[in-house]
Amino acid sequence: MTVIVGVSGQSLNQSDIDILSDPLVSGVILFPRNYANLDQLKALTQSIRELRSDLLLCTDHEGGRVQRLKAHFTELPPMGDLNKIWQSNPSEGEQLAFACGYITGHELQQSGIDSGLSPVLDIDRHLNNVVGNRSFGNDSQTVAELASAYCRGARASGAFTVGKHFPGHGGSAQDSHTDAAYDSRTMAELENDLFPFKTLIQRQLLDAIMPAHVIYSEVDSKPAGFSKVWLTDILKNQCGFKGLIISDCLTMQAAQIDGGIAEAAAQALEAGCSSVIICHHLEKIPQILADLNKRLPANYQPSLKPQVEVVSDAEEYLRQINILKNLEGLVADLRTSEIQL
């Protein structure tokens, strides 16, 4: 895999087709601008598959405030709400997390999408709004157990799991979407944040990991997504992660470096990323791809998209929807999807 790009609208135009035909393009990330209704979405994903069957199709679909596709999909609670149930009944909390993972995977799969780029493995330290209730909680063990249950549900539906934002965004006071982000803790102090990532890696529940655009100044001077220390030395070699590493979007403020997006993409790939995401500034993508082609070594070999062999089951999906509806502590007006089974 190499570059995951956004597309301009609700159907492919010639510029989109030209970009997606480039061998350096490895996937498509979808946003509300790409979605009107389910029939249109299925037509869009099918047209992408017909053009390139090897592309990874993804969207941000975590539940709560980060769920790009809402109309006609089940509106999932923020994962922080699961923590409230876990505190009184861990078994029910895990059951609910499994249901959220399964429902997410099933509904996206039925729409032609491989991954919701979830779960969030950050620990909520109440330092910034970018994490907040996107996190499963403020305790590393709770986050690890609920995220594990979520991944088991997502995997059971055939979805592609992505743990983020390695090694943990919870200790930064800044929002990396809008500002350079820093975390001054030592490696020893970061171990608690690393625990959910290490646990899910050991349990083989993650297909990919997304690093944070945060500078952990006591470990390396570069943001984790551009750091060989974090991605190769720590994540691959020390933690033993063998899956894909997908950068967060390179148009975020904390990812801005001298040389522009193409230079950022090259540095991220050289540090250990399998793919980089470019969500916006679509008019710049052809030049970015051309510049990146010159920047990468001649023998560069893109990683391949993993093959998902599990197909989700409609009866199991309905069972998980009922679990989501029936467990205590959820909002009463949960709106379930209009996905055709």
Q: List, by residue number, the catalytic residues.
A: 177, 248
H helix intervals, the chain: 14-20, 38-51, 79-88, 90-110, 140-156, 187-202, 228, 260-271, 285-295, 314-326
Helix, strand, coil: what percent of the chain each, to 5? Answer: 45, 15, 45
Residue 165: asked if its preceding bond is cis (omega within 30°), the reply is: yes
* DSSP category for residue 34: G
Adjacent-strand bridge partners of 59: 30
Contact 185, 173 (CB under 8 A): no
Which helix (H) or strand (E) segment holds residue 209: the answer is strand 208-211
Tokens matching residue 305: 């998209």
Whole-Å CA distances, 279 to 53, 219, 284, 288: 20, 29, 11, 13
**Rounded to 5°, angle at Cα 287 from 286 and 293:** 95
Contact 62, 101 (CB under 8 A): no
Adjacent-strand bridge partners of 215: 182, 223
User: What DSSP assignment string belongs to 220-252?
Assistant: -SSBGGG-HIIIIIIIIIIS---SEEEEEETTS
Task: List, in order, residues 6 or more apart from 109 with CB less than 8 Å away.
Answer: 157, 158, 159, 311, 312
User: Nearest Cα to 154, choosing from 70, 79, 97, 80?
Assistant: 97
